[in-house]
Amino acid sequence: MKLNDETQGDTKMKKTTMILLMSAVSVMFVESVRAQATATQTLTLAVNAVFKIATSGNPSPLTITTGTAGSDNLTAVTDNSTTYSITQNYGNTVKITANLNSTLPAGYTLKLALASSKGTSAGSVDISNATSGSAVNVVTGIQKGADAGQSISYTFSALASAGTLSSSSKTVTLTLTN
Amino acid sequence: MKKSIVILALVAISAVAMQSAYGQSDVATQSLNLAVNAVYKIATSGNPSALTITTGTAGTDALTSVSDATSTYSITQNYGNTVKITANLDAALSSGYTLQIGLASSKGTSAGAVDISNATSGSAVDVVTSIAQGADANKAITYTFSALASAGMLSSTTKTVTLTLTN
């Protein structure tokens, strides 16, 4: 009887030891699973205002060579061989203005039209008298983003009464601005 | 006769002493419990420079991205050979802005440039995997920040990147 009691006591002791061991293993396992280390860095990010505009090149010479008998308006010539591209992230009220480096003499007219898929084209705009201080809008309400390969159309016209015009170079400035 | 007795007695004592010296031995033992716990350590050299986009190409919505590779990280771990580093931001970036991070590694496999723009604490992404036990010091951290023009400008904003060394 006493021997049996001792055996039962031993069994209880073994069970307790086993439970304690299992608990210890569990704790170790949880600790092991959760083990990790961290490091942090602080980054400062910013995107400044970006305004970019470029053209594909220069248009062909615009040379008026003919007219209609009885009409002072000679036959205008047009060039659609060039394009422009823009990228801007400033806002949705950006525009493109155009101006010449110097005005044309009276009787000569140069018009410019810029196509646009991100803004509103003003259509064919007379820039004959637009200089740096009086640039005219050619595209308005341009949305943020990029607009690539949009056509530029020049139309040059003249009155016969204005006389001939020797080959003359003019610089057209397109400005992407807010 | 007395001298002889004294000499004999001295010889006997010496013999007993010598026997005692040769006949005794003793040892002591100690039980030591040794352990090395799992060690995970990661640190960075500091913060990168400000990442500011300032230009682009006419006709392209993607602005010119900027990069920074001025900071480094170091790690030490003894857990195993399947340890990895994850990265996340404190908050996701707005649509149209992208932040990539690339961690060099000589003890593991770098995932290359990884987009962490939308990685937050609950969705951290792996940047280095299969890191072998040991240390890897002063490995480059490269950040690349890009943006679309259509996303607009972004005022200077601070983001916290957390690198976690974990199993």
Span A134-156, pLDDT tens digits: 999 999 999 999 999 999 999 99
Question: HSE on the CB side for A44, CA within 13 Å?
Answer: 9
SS3 (DSSP) at B41: strand
pTM of the model: 0.78
Antiparallel, parallel or unpaired: β A51-55 and A136-142: unpaired
Which residues, listed in sequence order, are joined to residue A97 by a DSSP beta bridge?
A: A137, A175
- Per-residue pLDDT at A47 exceeds 50: yes
Encoding tokens for residue B122? 């609950």
The phi-psi region of residue B56 (left if phi > 0; otherwise alpha if psi is between -120 and 50; otherwise beta) is beta
The residue written with tokens 């640039």 in the block is A135
Query: What is the arithmetic mean of pLDDT over A42-64?
Result: 95
**In chain A, pLDDT over 90 holds for what percent of residues?**
73
Note the pLDDT of residue A77.
Answer: 94
Which of B136, B134, B98, B132 minimizes the C-alpha distance to B117?
B98
pLDDT in tens, A7-33: 455 555 555 454 444 444 444 444 455
Query: What is the arithmetic mean of pLDDT over B97-119?
Result: 98
Q: Is B125 on the interface with A (CB under 8 A)?
A: no
Burial class (CB in 10 A: 0-12, 13-18, 19+), A136: middle
Q: Amino acid identity, residue B108?
A: G
- In angstroms, the CA A52 to CA A49 distance is 10
Note the pLDDT of residue B32.
Answer: 61
Average pLDDT, chain A: 86
Query: B43: which chain A residues are within 8 Å (Cβ-Cβ)?
Result: 39
Note the pLDDT of residue B93.
Answer: 98
- In angstroms, the CA B48 to CA B71 distance is 6
Classify each residue of B103-119 as buried b or exposed e, where b means 16 or more C-beta atoms within 10 Å of its C-beta: bbbebbebbeebebbeb
Note the pLDDT of residue B3.
Answer: 55
Substitution target in B36, B40, B45, B61 with the highest count of A β-carbons within 10 Å is: B61
Note the pLDDT of residue B36.
Answer: 80
Note the pLDDT of residue B37.
Answer: 83
pLDDT in tens, A82-94: 999 999 999 988 9
Note the pLDDT of residue A14.
Answer: 55
Query: What is the arithmetic mean of pLDDT over A50-65?
Result: 94
51-70 of B, contacting A, C-beta below 8 A? 51-61, 63
Note the pLDDT of residue B107.
Answer: 94
- In angstroms, the CA B15 to CA A12 distance is 58
How far apart are the two ends of chain B, measured CA to CA in Å? 90
- Per-residue pLDDT at A157 exceeds 80: yes
Tell me chain B's radius of gyration from C-alpha atoms.
34
Q: Is B45 on the interface with A (CB under 8 A)?
A: no
3-state class percentages of chain A: helix first, strand second, coil last, to nearest 5: 20, 45, 35
Tell me, what DSSP letter sits at residue B127?
Answer: E
Decide if B85 contacts B42 (C-beta within 8 A): yes
Note the pLDDT of residue A29.
Answer: 44
Q: Amino acid identity, residue B132?
A: A
SS3 (DSSP) at A130: coil
B42, B58, B154: residue with CB nearest A86:
B58
Find, in chain A, the residue whose alpha carbon is nearest to that of B86: A38
- Per-residue pLDDT at A38 exceeds 70: yes
Note the pLDDT of residue B97.
Answer: 98
pLDDT in tens, B10-40: 444 454 444 444 556 677 665 666 678 888 9
Note the pLDDT of residue A50.
Answer: 96
Geometric angle at alpha carbon A176, from A172 and A177, rounded to 5°? 125
Which residues, listed in sequence order, are joined to residue B53 by a DSSP beta bridge?
A: A47
Decide if B85 contacts B131 (C-beta within 8 A): yes
Note the pLDDT of residue A69.
Answer: 87
- In angstroms, the CA B118 to CA B112 distance is 17
Note the pLDDT of residue A36.
Answer: 86
Note the pLDDT of residue B27.
Answer: 74
The residue written with tokens 């009887």 in the block is A1
* Neighbour tally for A104: CB within 10 Å: 20
A47, A52, A89: residue with CB nearest B58:
A52
Note the pLDDT of residue A70.
Answer: 84
Note the pLDDT of residue B21.
Answer: 47
Query: B163: which chain A residues are within 8 Å (Cβ-Cβ)?
Result: 38-41
